[in-house]
Amino acid sequence: MSGKCEAVVIGTGFGGAINACRLGRKWPGKVVVLERGKRYGLGEFPRAPGDFARNFWVLPDRTPHPSHIRGAVGKSGELHGMYDVRNYDHMDVVVCAGVGGGSLIYANVFLIPPDEVFADQRWPSSCKKPRLMPYYAVAKSVLGSRPIPSAANDPRRRILKTELFQTVAQRARRNSQLVDINVFFGKDPNASPLAIGQQERNRYGALQTSCTYCGECICGCNYHAKNTVDLNYLYAAEKCHQAKVLTECLADEIVPVDAAGADDPNGDGSHGYRVKYRDLRTNKLEAILASRVVVSAGCLGSTELLLRCKHLLRTLPRISDRVGQQFSGNGDFLSFVLEGFEGNPNYGPTITQRTDYNLFHNFAPTQAFILEDASYPAFLAWFVEGVKPRWMWLKPFSRLLRHLLANFSSGKSPGATGFAFADALSDSTSRQSAVLLCMGVDKSNGVMDLDPNGHLRVRWPWRENRRLYDAILEAGKEFKRLAGAKIFTALPTWDWPIRNNVTVHPLGGCVLADAPAQGVTSADPECFGEVFGYKGPYVSDGAILPTAAGSNPVATICALAEMVAEGITHIPPDEELC
């Protein structure tokens, strides 16, 4: 794009897609979107083992990874796949690169947190729950959130894992209910669902398939049955508002410019910004001049970019010293129960049901979480089934297999729990397993900064969050007992002495606040999400959440992103994107 555009949006996840659409509506043809990942169409997500192994994100000079991932890297030393897996101090993080950002691998849940989450004093008054409710409503409508359809008229819609979690919740006397999920069952959420596998165009014009119940939500839906943002917000941004999306372009630097358009690191952004990026296909450095910038590269990406601009590049030195503070893993904790029951976690959307543990009812600040019926893709079930009849032959090599399994999960040596998990996979069928995904209210007291090499690092005080994790472990043991299972195990990475948790919902680092002494981005509705100390740079993604959401954070990220966009455009959002 020649000349100066109105806005550059960095990232195409929920925050980036929403702002690309809303800003594109105000300034048609004058919004540029930078996405570090690739674009995926129908049937283009990798499934073959070799292709899947190369479907990771590795940039040695920016995102170093453990050897089990680096081994798949070719001569270039880089991989530009979807899965960006980071190993940090007591917290491993999984995020996504691609047009659609984290929506490509999320588990679809749209869940509004309880009032008690917003009662935390770290949430500014301008974005308490009542203020956010209209924005939640708009995002929910756009994303087509609804529970799974009833199986009454089609037995293929029966999901055993949903029934299992409902039964266990009833036995535990816990409140449990279906969750709203952003999955396509037809363009009208209030009408009867389309037949499984039937296609039609959604309300914005993108072709989608009524959910096939394949269980592959978290590895990219090849049927476009997930309501990912490239099929709604971003689709409208491109098709209706002529926003230009540049793929495989990694933003490296944001620098203010003066009235003549020259770089001015001492400027406040009144004359706009030059956004410098690397074209990953050619390895050439490029730049775009824009009146404003919306940073939506996710918790890790946005925080890293601001840290680099403040401390390494010194192009945005006035960014608050609070940048990198209040990191949260959203209380994520993954565990498994195996053998002795029928769960079949390979059929149906990844998550359908949630059970409350002191989050929505009888809120307990250090032990508030929910339990959801997570699953793994159906194609992995073939591995589990195939291993079992060969186990007697493989048993002499069990220790090696256990080691490989743990390394595949974490790049670290497994402990006793890792061994038990490997044995369970080999001695039970895939139908006799259940995946327990918990999310809760952690203390949101982690810290992100740059190491001496300029790489992002995260320091997570796991001991200070131990009460939450212990409560989750107790719930898992109870689930085992009430389901009649034989084995309960957390991820191998949680074994002593490793104590590394895993999150797929990193939050914080550029949090909203009323003043720069408390946060990085402004909570003033007139300039909501704007970086303190500057005019025109904004952050709009999970990085601005002041605390854990306690439940799946997509709904809250979307609501806040709609507020950011409204603060920029002064146009209230609605569900009609075009």
How does DSSP assign 515-567, residue by residue?
Answer: STTT-SEE--GGGTTBBTTSSSEEE-SGGG-SS--SS--HHHHHHHHHHHHHH
The encoded tokens of residue 549 equal: 């959401």
Contact 542, 557 (CB under 8 A): yes
Element at 293 (helix H, strand E): strand 284-295
| Cis preceding linkage at 66, omega within 30 | no
Query: What residues make up the domain containing 490?
Result: 328-503
SS3 168: helix
Give the pLDDT score at 188: 87
Residue 127 domain-assigned? no
Give the pLDDT score at 63: 66
Q: Report the C-alpha gap between 474 and 16 in whole angstroms.
A: 38
Residue 197 domain-assigned? no
Residue 394 domain-assigned? yes
Quickly count: other Cβ atoms within 10 Å of residue 423's Cβ.
18
Give the pLDDT score at 423: 47
Largest CA distance in the chain: 75
- DSSP for 431-496 reads TSEEEEEEEE-----EEEEE-TTS-EEEE--GGGGHHHHHHHHHHHHHHHHHHT-SEEEE-GGGST
Q: What angle do CA 297, 302, 307 make, to 5 degrees?
A: 155
402: closest CA among 431, 425, 372? 425
pLDDT in tens, the chain (578 residues): 557 999 999 999 999 999 999 999 999 999 999 999 999 999 999 998 888 888 999 887 776 655 545 555 555 678 899 999 999 999 999 999 999 999 999 999 999 999 999 999 999 999 999 999 999 999 999 999 999 999 998 999 999 999 999 999 999 999 999 999 999 999 988 889 999 999 999 999 999 999 999 999 999 999 999 999 999 999 999 999 999 999 999 999 999 999 999 999 999 999 999 999 999 999 999 999 999 999 999 999 999 999 999 999 999 999 999 999 999 999 999 999 988 888 889 999 999 999 999 999 999 989 999 999 998 887 766 554 544 443 333 333 333 334 444 444 444 433 444 444 444 444 456 788 899 999 999 999 999 999 999 999 999 999 999 999 999 999 999 999 999 999 999 988 888 778 889 999 999 999 999 999 999 999 999 999 999 999 999 999 999 999 999 999 999 999 999 999 999 999 999 999 99
Q: Which amino acid is at 325?
A: Q
Give the pLDDT score at 558: 98
Residue 96 domain-assigned? no
| 12 secondary structure, DSSP code | -
What is the tally of structural domains in the chain? 1
Cα–Cα distances (Å) from 27 to 6, 8, 175, in that order, read 7, 12, 47
Q: Report the C-alpha gap between 77 and 369 in whole angstroms.
A: 40
Residue 162 domain-assigned? no
Q: Report the C-alpha gap between 441 and 367 in whole angstroms.
A: 7
Global pTM reads: 0.92
The gap between the terminal CA atoms of the chain, to the nearest Å, is: 22
Residue 352 domain-assigned? yes
Residue 342 domain-assigned? yes
For 160, phi and psi rounded to 5 degrees?
-65, -40
Give the pLDDT score at 493: 83
Quickly count: other Cβ atoms within 10 Å of residue 79's Cβ.
24
Q: Report the C-alpha gap between 576 and 574 in whole angstroms.
A: 6
Residue 41 domain-assigned? no
